Amino acid sequence: MTAAATMKAMPLLPQAGGKVRWRNPEAARARGWESIFGAGPFVVVGTVDHSSNHLATGLILGTALGEQEISEVWLALADDPEDDCGSGGAKKHVYSQLPAPTSEHCLRSDGGDSPGTTGRQQS
């Protein structure tokens, strides 16, 4: 089981114009996403429904690279202090307590390690 398989969707999806941040800034930093997409908060431009594929909703965000789709499981509402495991908060997420996945678990079929929802999903 991968860390991504145990992550939870956001309890409330933000509307366009709302702001989100990395749910776990340390994980985003470790994967290089913070340096690629930015530290946030990010403005939500729209959403992409992936429920027909049993996947979490994708959020279209204004990032340092322009508009990018990032799965909601990697994000939290910018003003939600309850969902904070990046700034020393007591609340820890299940995926922050799991061992780091091996490359075979975290690579997409196109070879990238990305928070996006593109690429074939592994089972």
* 117 token code pair: 């929802």
User: Would you kindly state where each structural domain of the chain is located, as residue ranges?
Assistant: 15-106
Predicted pLDDT at 114 = 53
Q: How far apart are CA 116 and CA 113, in angstroms?
A: 9
**What are the φ and ψ backbone dihedral angles of 4, each rounded to 5 degrees?**
-65, -30
The pLDDT of residue 88 is above 80: no
Q: pLDDT higher for 35 or 85?
A: 35
Q: pLDDT higher for 11 or 55?
A: 55
**Cα dist from 41 to 60, 102, 109, 118, whole Å:** 13, 29, 29, 22
The pLDDT of residue 82 is above 90: no
Predicted pLDDT at 12 = 87
